[in-house]
Amino acid sequence: MDIDREHPEYVRRKAMRRVYRDLYAGGEQMKANAPDYLTRRQKEPGDVFGERLARVFYENYVGSIIDWYSATLFRREPQLTFDGPNDAGRAFFSAFTEDCDRKQTSLSDFFRKQLAEALVSGSSYILVDFPRVGEPAANRAEEDQRGASRAYLVAYKAEDLINWNEDEQGNLDWVVLRTRNLRQDGPDGKWYEETRWVIYDKEEFKIFRRVEGRVGEGRLGKLGIGELGTGEPAIGAGGVGAAGIGERGGTPELVASGRHALAGLKRVPLFSLEVSEGLWLMNKAALLQLEHFNKSNALGWALTMGLFAMPVVYSDRPWNQVVGESYYIQLAPGDRFGWTEPEGKVYQIAVDNLNQLKSEIYRVCYLMPQAWDAQATQSGASKLRDFTVTHEVLRAYGDAVKGTLKRLLRAIAAARQDGLTVDVAGLDEFDIGDFSSELDDAQRLLGLGVGSPTLRKEIFKRLAQKYLCDVRQELKDQIVKEIEEAAG
């Protein structure tokens, strides 16, 4: 198997995703890659284009929009319920929600970043893994004691999944993940670039590694540490440490292999968080953002040049005088002197067009209220209708996150054999101060006198989890348990 072979779909979207990532990041990353995006005028001198590149700026609307969506969706944490008699399993998931990746990242924060990644690249990927130990555990108690049952997550970008195949049912048959990282031989050693390929099928994994060569200070600065992925699954004893650094470059070497976390379920342990084409915000706004980038820089350059007006002398005589701030000119009685200055009509047209592009960026991203001009009049009903569209889009993102989260947590529970029923709710209301209306609705529903203890119990559980959305999962589980016992 050619481990570095790339899927045709990956190849088709590779250049596009690089552009999208620059547009999302903005700042110095966008300025460093500005020659790829700033349109050069026909026959424009190189020194003039270089000066325009040095003065380039970028108004990053789409990046702020994506961050707003991911932050607003997770204003309230998802409501997780784990039903079953296994207290040890519930204790594990309580700890898991507080630290899901062994980096002290909460489950909500982890998925917030994954959603932002999906809105930029169209999809993001999450790997489920378990710590690997040298010898298999004799029983479950020993497995828990050694930490072998402590599942954790690894985040991957869309660019990391370079090849895959699906079976007849559309499920992943196998995947190839590739990451590149900067490593160092030691505190005083030289930097080198390491490439890893991780191959998963439905039961086994293989990890290959290749060191590209030592990286000098100049090369390190060119690469940029922030541009290289860092997510990778842990490997057990005898992995990289036993393999050593090996040869610089050359054929990739196998450094680890074995059965993976979900081998017992016979499924690839990679989960995707995907959005539809219509909800892929960066894909909808990228061309508008690039057009705004070019026109705003053109207007900025024209305004700057307008501040350095050129003198104009109207005379029939030969002109050979030197003109400058420390000089003077001598004119004949019939001569005239003036300065070039644009009338400004094209400037106003450019400003209007920039405002239209800005509004269109917000409109295609379903943020209609921000798309309107601040001076434009809009009825209250119209504003409410526009916010309704935005909330429906947020609910669609919430459904996508909940679907991925359910599949992931249920797979972990099945792999651990906890015997718990896992469910995920929430991510459908986005005003933290809106609890009073929910409480009124619940009171009206209970006041109907429906003779269903299960309905009453579920209402109390839902209200408690919403009101205490930011407390520890362990405390939420205890409250739910007490409600269950009181209703029993």
**What is the C-alpha to C-alpha distance for residues 132 and 406, in angstroms, rounded to an integer?**
25
- Residue matched to tokens 């390929």: 197
Q: For residues 413-428, b (16+ Cβ closer than 10 Å) or e, as one string?
A: bbbbebebebebbbbe
Instruction: Give 38's pLDDT tier (boundaries 50, 70, 90).
Output: very high
Q: How many residues does the chain have?
A: 488
Instruction: Give 230's pLDDT tier (boundaries 50, 70, 90).
Output: very low
The residues spanned by each domain of the chain are 21-122+277-308+342-430, 124-274
More confident call, 438 vs 117: 117
Per-residue pLDDT tens over the stretch 354-412: 999 999 999 999 987 776 654 455 554 555 566 788 889 999 999 999 999 999 999 99
Looking at the DSSP assignment, which residues form a beta bridge with residue 271? 126
Per-residue pLDDT tens over the stretch 172-188: 999 999 999 888 877 87
Residues 6+ apart with CB under 8 A from 60: 23, 24, 26, 27, 30, 289
H/E stretch holding 314? strand 311-314
Read off φ and ψ for residue 28, nearest 5 degrees: -65, -30
Q: 0.85 exceeded by the pTM?
A: no
**What is the C-alpha to C-alpha distance for residues 272 and 290, in angstroms, rounded to an integer?**
28
pLDDT reading at 309 higher than 90: no
**What is the C-alpha to C-alpha distance for residues 350 and 348, in angstroms, rounded to an integer?**
5
Question: Per-residue pLDDT averaged across 265-279, rounded?
Answer: 95
